[in-house]
Structure 1
């Protein structure tokens, strides 16, 4: 079981380091189907894990000055507010509905990654659009525990004219902020229903995932981005199909 956790954590970290996304989308299924955690425990744990990995990667790479702080403000602030609202909404939603939405989000992420291409950026991101996208990402983070990097990175590259490395770094900063807000709300819910997190699992995945993320950033420029995205898209499609079938069977 420990070897499974180590391999899964490395993949989670590599995904965040190379693509700036996919962390929670991999973490939640690992916790639910691999470690048999409940949905709410898995989502809360995922917020801690992905937030920690993202923050560690950001801190280590601060010297590179790749984070676009104006985008963190424009994108991140509305996203944080929406994250809290999404988590609040989730507290009144059946967990089966959350998993159904999660599966659909995974399929959307798979489609976007498969279709993603290098874009010739010609426009700056409009503040209104950044607020809207930030709100959408935050809502997803709060409601189903995903970081939303699959939306953030393409948006930053397309509309803010950021290079892939800068978009990934900025995305990780936004994800870490959203994860903190989402965790605080979910933790309130866990206290109310007297559930606790498995901090040993969280710690192990966070540490190994952080190492994987740093490795991912080191090798990202040497990898064929399009092929990596398409492979990851295929993995997401298979996983989301499994989750969707399992969720529908349990309705």
Structure 2
């Protein structure tokens, strides 16, 4: 198809697979990768649409129960704060947002690598705070799954319940920010040609990730994912200084 960047679509598939296995969600890889091919606002709009398909796929593939308590304590503040972050993103310079994204990814990955044994108390208060931070980050920078993953890990959920619950919360976030991004003008007509491909990639990538997860311990793959996030964060920072 004319003017379709197939390398970008291949990288989107890889991001979805790694995000599913690592437990961070695909946006932590998809946003910085997409930033090399699109302007920052366009990739925010594409991320929201891509994630709607991705998270519906995870809810279907890992349908072994959803934790209703976490839907309330993490999900509701996430939705409220993603709207705030989404509106705020329009007020900030894209160069600042891209640099902040790189610093955020590099800093967050190093934090997780250094504090690999960090355990957050499984309280409603921590769930609300974690949900608010992940939602705000998702609205402002396009990605907040790593913060939500750390928060949810405290509740010691079975793997399938963890992924399904996280995906349902993420779906609520993406559904909300899609309207905000559309209102902000981030969803461009000339980018919509990628949407059918991304919807298919969201399902296929989640399916492949689920199959691989059976053979590779999530804990080991999580560490590899963190190193990849660190490299992507550093590359994003360098990109801002060579533009």
TM-score, scaled to structure 2: 0.88
Distance 1:163 1:170, change over 3 A: same
Match of 1:90 in 2: 89
Residue by residue, what CA displacement relative to the aligned partner does 1:168-226 show, whole Å, maximum 9, x if unpaired?
A: 221111111111111211110117xx943512213212312321112212321320333
Say whether the 8 Å CA contact 1:83–1:182 is kept in structure 2: yes
| Structure-2 change in CA distance of 1:242 and 1:20 (3 Å) | same
Contact 2:19/2:29, CA 8 A, preserved across alignment: no
Classify 1:206/1:20 alpha carbon distance in 2 versus 1 (closer, same or farther; 3 Å): farther
1:150 aligns with 2:146: yes
1:43 aligns with 44
Aligned equivalent of 2:7, options 4, 23, 46 = 4
- What do you get for the CA RMSD once the two structures are aligned? 2.4
1:109 CA drift (Å): 3.5
Match of 1:14 in 2: 17
Task: Measure, in 1, the Cα distance between the counterparts of 2:119 and 2:230.
Answer: 27
Aligned twin of 1:162:
157
Q: Which range is displaced more, 13-22 or 94-103?
A: 13-22
Go from structure 1 to structure 2 and tell me whether the alpha carbon gap of 1:3 and 1:198 turns closer, same or farther (over 3 Å shift): closer
C-alpha deviation, 1:60, in angstroms? 3.6
- Count the aligned residue pairs: 240
Q: Distance in 2 between matches of 1:197 and 1:141?
A: 23
Compare 94-103 and 12-21 and name the one that shifted more. 12-21
Can you give the 5+ residue segments of structure 2 that lack an aligned partner in the other structure? none
Pair 229,116 (structure 1): closer, same or farther in 2 beyond 3 Å: farther
| Cα pair distance change 1:5/1:245, threshold 3 Å | closer
Aligned pair partner of 1:214 in 207, 215, 220:
207
Q: TM-score, normalised by structure 1?
A: 0.85
